[in-house]
Structure 1
């Protein structure tokens, strides 16, 4: 086993950073700038009571929520040039984004260290408003297809840490990310366009164009909101095998249309249609030596035999009906979604040396893959009115999902033509059904103390078929099915010792669904050689927290300590000579999360966050190649962020300046004895971003400068092709990038 050399993260640029922050905070000449009273939100830096979240399926102030919840405002994301899920995750210490394959769409998000590296299914649930998006099954790419939605025209992105199984169900065992779209406004007419041009060091220019229209159809009763956007990434990674051409360019086209109807004071309907199409030439990975951690052929370079294009289409139609029944409010949310991911990977570096001794000699190999999910969801909720004695919520949830996964491994000659033999053609049709009932109740013991209990009972039914062809095809397998009942729990106790102060204790559980396994039988006696299904894995989280004001109206803070006990972890394993999914062992994650928000003077906002995580295996796990006490993959022990923003005015024109500083500690991409994913150490890195802007009547001019000091931060590493000597494929923080934004409001 090789370890890449430790890279020193010297930060002798600390003096320029100090000066940059001083430039944001410092007072300019009093005759040149006057403070503008209008608030310009950054990441949750408004006074805490004005930051609203829907974490407990109610709109309520963040300081009233007894769990760790981050709210990132849509305006902040747009004007800082943050446009993707990777950008969002990078802002949140303790939230990890990992690209697991070729191109966007092959990615996963984890929180609080709940990761085994190669995920069977998602541990963080993705929502668009109140609709869960993506596969719940382990057979339709749910573990490697985190929803990367364009961060345009969002009211906010809400991030809930820790298991949310009671209110959000399967797959939310590590946490939840919710994209909250800006709603149609029946009282405001709005039309604006924004263009953005940016360029990275040694890369091609990128651009963004977006338009937003909000049109009242009937005053106070109906409105239409439409968003169109296009993002083209020029790319910067070059393929040394094909004339140094750039191979990671991308184009993303998206549209969202929402119609809001309020035919009566106590009734509203919102119909939303969303579509996003991504086309990527290939992944933004660099070929890196496992031993040294340095690029093989230079920065932002790789060597490919075949190109690795990816296409991802996501579509969603949802209907949300809300009715005030006086004694309760009724929410009915229906969602119809379709997600397709088609791509090609170049595994030549693995298969060339592997197959040559078997007499199979080809110039290279290509693996075409596809994931397809069609899903319907329906949720009904009854929520009691606000009360100081008893509040309750009850609901039911149903989902029907049809999934399809395919893999096609083919040999190619030097002319990039497919040649025999066909190595593998594998197809996996699957289905997933789930029905759940859930409820919570909060009892207020007195004006200072309350307790909440919650429970969710779920039953899922799954079916799986396997169809094989080609040289590597196993014997035909019969269809498999499974049924599973799961109960998740939640309990919190909250005490408010004084105004603006709250202490809480929280215990909550979460799970991922299990699933069917084709039974492999002994050819001699017909006895089964494996289990007919793998079980759900589950965890319990125990959290103690405090939220409150340090200086009322100026400084507030939050602190959370947690321990998560994870058992029956779902892992990829092997049985009877076949690869599959199984359950193995336990893990534990302990951590501390702290945030600080301040308004030291009018027009200045500061937000700081810190995450400390100790996530490790508790049992030896041969399937993962890990030993008891070993750290879980892709998790930094220390991560932090600091964001500062200042408003000002020049001759009556509003302006702002801001800075974001992010630190991520070292991580390992896998376990030390892993046979399928060789271990690679990802060094710690620090990134500074700057932004600013000025309003000119109906126009706005802004800029952003990301990765000011051009740090070579390594965010994730794929070593699945490295077992026979191939380099690691490492994702990097984009190099120094300068962007300019221009927007114009027609009215």
Structure 2
């Protein structure tokens, strides 16, 4: 393997639209994306759109949302709290650390997934869909509010599933076994079957998978047991019907369950930055298990009306997560002076969201004169959030008093109309203008019990209208060359706040709602071939102006949600990719981000000019892959190098979470495999140098001296894959 790699030029990663880890068979100019709701070559899209092939992810052993985001410089995955079900994705520095709502929207095919509200876990439940039987994962950077709506102010991630094939009866079985240094064994089992029902007209595709990660973090308080194991069970069933070239229908159902024993966190001293009880270890009073369930059913109808194509997409989804976290390190010393003495505490929490969506789009035919798109969107969501804080005895049984039992049922409804128009000035120049008009209405109830509970709070409601815009200009100075300018806006919905009144005067002490936060992004880019058919590059410069940032705040002694001032993020993204020889792919990606506060914020504990958290100023990736024949059999070999710069988890003087600096890290992955007829065998070695990578940090329990809880990347791990195809 080393000899084969040494013979290749230095390079790469999958941040560019056409190349991705291990993707070798496709020419670099054939990858298409649906970024503008049309299928078009990635090189034609006037924005940064990354496409990572599903087959390439599987080949390299990448199987989770954390794996996917690690491939893309400038895209950050923050796994807070107790791990699965408590995660967020950010792009281009658009984050204040603890997120009120999501700034990156998640899609499954054409259906938005997850809560739009700040009250149903929208900011901390990024969809971690198993990366199995995917055609690709599309990652769009920058605000996508005009075509994709609320929550896509930082960008969008779209899981694109492999569609049923009416002309092929096929099946495949994949097994994988791997292990991380110091941890238990992991395994993956996946089966796929494609069955034509009526050749050329209809087909069904079924996928079942199970992924089990043994974990590698040990709990010193529970017999040194490993406490971060994860098991994922899921399945997808898709049915397509195409009675004519002008009409098609696709029905898809997927379900996924995840159980995690706890987070892959390590106790780290804030003073020294070193592990408290040794590497890959922590101390818990109670274990922190999390269960997550996601279900989705969607129906997509496409009809060619000749003068336009109509797409109607209906979706029904349900997501639920329940878990327990251990806040003992904070509450034991905090409550003891008040006379509440207990060995430990448990915080039980849950999120639930049920969502119905309907979108209808009309898209004009290709004309290269004037092309347009018009659509309408509707969503209805019913969500809830609960928290229960309870002291426990040494047998983990509840003690009195109950400290808090809080429940927050909520509803969210939104309607929107949107459209874009592209005018082709001549063969080389075109301009696009887009607009989306949205209106949402929300309702929130609050139910409290326990020693810390406030008095009864009335229900609250709010509504708002938001307009987002998008404008692009594109110039093609030569074939396969394009310069573009793009200005786009995005937003996150606001929401209601229960009114807290002065008990003496009856006057309100807070505002009745928090506002939407909005941003404008200005981007200039170039996409083109350096050597036609061999080398291409992309460069994008951007500045994002963010205002009315949504933050957690305190009013009249009660925590809630409010709006802070302004922030700014500017940066550069560059990609070089190529095919220096037949069977060889190389690529390099770079992201540099300068994100900072523009106004002082007491709620965040930051001053104007301070760096925004959880974002590396510099990140980069290199990759090389090579196809060859081994004794007449197709084989491949590849390597990836990823660098992530230093990050901070909070501002200099935060009111709740002390600042912690996460050092820079570099990881190296290797992969190789060979096809033996209908059987293929692959090997991967991830984190070759066993780099100690700290991916995020939680210091909410550190106010009274408790250690930081730092999420760790997986240590060195070796795996083998076996795939059997049947036709």
TM value normalised by structure 2: 0.98
In 1, Cα distance between equivalents of 2:182 and 2:211 = 19
Cα deviation for residue 540 of structure 1 reads 0.0
Instruction: Give 2:659's aligned residue.
Output: 679
Cα deviation for residue 25 of structure 1 reads 5.6
Instruction: Give 2:555's aligned residue.
Output: 575
Instruction: Give 2:626's aligned residue.
Output: 646
- Which runs of no fewer than 5 residues in structure 2 stay unpaired? 11-18
The question of 1:627 aligning with 2:607 is answered: yes
The question of 1:79 aligning with 2:59 is answered: yes
* Aligned residue pairs, count: 719
The question of 1:179 aligning with 2:163 is answered: no
Contact 2:576–2:589 (CA<8 Å) still a contact in 1? yes
Instruction: Give 1:725's aligned residue.
Output: 705
In 2, Cα distance between equivalents of 1:146 and 1:719 = 21
In 2, Cα distance between equivalents of 1:159 and 1:70 = 5
Instruction: Give 1:30's aligned residue.
Output: none
Following superposition of structure 1 onto structure 2, how do residues 511-590 of structure 1 map, counting pairs within 5 Å?
511-590=491-570
Any runs of at least 4 consecutive aligned residues in structure 1 with deviations exceeding 2 A, and if so which?
A: 17-21, 23-26, 39-49
Instruction: Give 2:421's aligned residue.
Output: 441
Map Cα deviations across residues 32-76 of structure 1 (whole Å, 9 max, x no partner). xxxxxxx99746995443010000000000010000000000011
In 1, Cα distance between equivalents of 2:23 and 2:489 = 28
Cα deviation for residue 629 of structure 1 reads 0.4
Among candidates 484, 489, 494, match of residue 464 of structure 2: 484
Cα deviation for residue 652 of structure 1 reads 2.0
RMSD of aligned Cα (Å): 1.3
In 2, Cα distance between equivalents of 1:607 and 1:131 = 31
Distance of aligned partners of 1:623 and 1:19 in 2 relative to their CA distance in 1, 3 Å threshold: farther
Instruction: Give 1:419's aligned residue.
Output: 399
Cα deviation for residue 187 of structure 1 reads 1.3
The DSSP-based 3-state class of the residue aligned with 1:338 is strand
The DSSP-based 3-state class of the residue aligned with 2:402 is strand
Instruction: Give 1:133's aligned residue.
Output: 113
* Farther-moved stretch of structure 1 (649-658 vs 481-490): 649-658
Cα deviation for residue 419 of structure 1 reads 0.8
The DSSP-based 3-state class of the residue aligned with 1:118 is coil
Following superposition of structure 1 onto structure 2, how do residues 593-612 of structure 1 map, counting pairs within 5 Å?
593-612=573-592
Map Cα deviations across residues 218-260 of structure 1 (whole Å, 9 max, x no partner). 1110010011000011111100001101111111000000000
Following superposition of structure 1 onto structure 2, how do residues 228-247 of structure 1 map, counting pairs within 5 Å?
228-247=208-227
The question of 1:462 aligning with 2:446 is answered: no
Contact 1:288–1:295 (CA<8 Å) still a contact in 2? yes
The DSSP-based 3-state class of the residue aligned with 2:258 is strand
The DSSP-based 3-state class of the residue aligned with 1:143 is coil
Map Cα deviations across residues 254-276 of structure 1 (whole Å, 9 max, x no partner). 00000000122211000000000
Cα deviation for residue 109 of structure 1 reads 0.2
Contact 2:24–2:626 (CA<8 Å) still a contact in 1? no
The question of 1:58 aligning with 2:42 is answered: no
Among candidates 707, 717, 739, match of residue 687 of structure 2: 707
Contact 2:517–2:548 (CA<8 Å) still a contact in 1? yes
Cα deviation for residue 117 of structure 1 reads 0.1
Map Cα deviations across residues 193-223 of structure 1 (whole Å, 9 max, x no partner). 0000000111000000000101111111001
Contact 1:24–1:657 (CA<8 Å) still a contact in 2? no
Following superposition of structure 1 onto structure 2, how do residues 34-53 of structure 1 map, counting pairs within 5 Å?
42=22, 46-53=26-33
- Which runs of no fewer than 5 residues in structure 1 stay unpaired? 1-16, 27-38
Instruction: Give 2:410's aligned residue.
Output: 430
The question of 1:613 aligning with 2:593 is answered: yes
Instruction: Give 2:6's aligned residue.
Output: 22
Contact 1:171–1:512 (CA<8 Å) still a contact in 2? yes
Contact 1:48–1:61 (CA<8 Å) still a contact in 2? no
In 1, Cα distance between equivalents of 2:589 and 2:390 = 48
Instruction: Give 1:289's aligned residue.
Output: 269
Cα deviation for residue 309 of structure 1 reads 0.4
The question of 1:475 aligning with 2:475 is answered: no
Cα deviation for residue 686 of structure 1 reads 0.3
The DSSP-based 3-state class of the residue aligned with 1:507 is strand
Cα deviation for residue 302 of structure 1 reads 0.4
* Farther-moved stretch of structure 1 (191-200 vs 48-57): 48-57
Cα deviation for residue 19 of structure 1 reads 7.1
The DSSP-based 3-state class of the residue aligned with 2:491 is strand
In 2, Cα distance between equivalents of 1:571 and 1:301 = 32
TM value normalised by structure 1: 0.95
Contact 2:99–2:123 (CA<8 Å) still a contact in 1? yes
Contact 2:20–2:51 (CA<8 Å) still a contact in 1? no
Map Cα deviations across residues 318-357 of structure 1 (whole Å, 9 max, x no partner). 0000000000000000000000010000000010111011
In 2, Cα distance between equivalents of 1:546 and 1:47 = 20
Contact 1:25–1:604 (CA<8 Å) still a contact in 2? no
Following superposition of structure 1 onto structure 2, how do residues 340-359 of structure 1 map, counting pairs within 5 Å?
340-359=320-339
Among candidates 632, 637, 646, match of residue 666 of structure 1: 646
Among candidates 82, 91, 116, match of residue 102 of structure 1: 82
Contact 1:516–1:532 (CA<8 Å) still a contact in 2? yes
Instruction: Give 1:306's aligned residue.
Output: 286
The DSSP-based 3-state class of the residue aligned with 1:422 is coil
In 2, Cα distance between equivalents of 1:77 and 1:105 = 22
Contact 2:24–2:625 (CA<8 Å) still a contact in 1? no
Instruction: Give 2:383's aligned residue.
Output: 403
Following superposition of structure 1 onto structure 2, how do residues 377-392 of structure 1 map, counting pairs within 5 Å?
377-392=357-372
In 2, Cα distance between equivalents of 1:310 and 1:637 = 32
Instruction: Give 1:8's aligned residue.
Output: none
In 2, Cα distance between equivalents of 1:208 and 1:656 = 21
Cα deviation for residue 525 of structure 1 reads 1.2
Instruction: Give 1:744's aligned residue.
Output: 724
The DSSP-based 3-state class of the residue aligned with 1:93 is coil
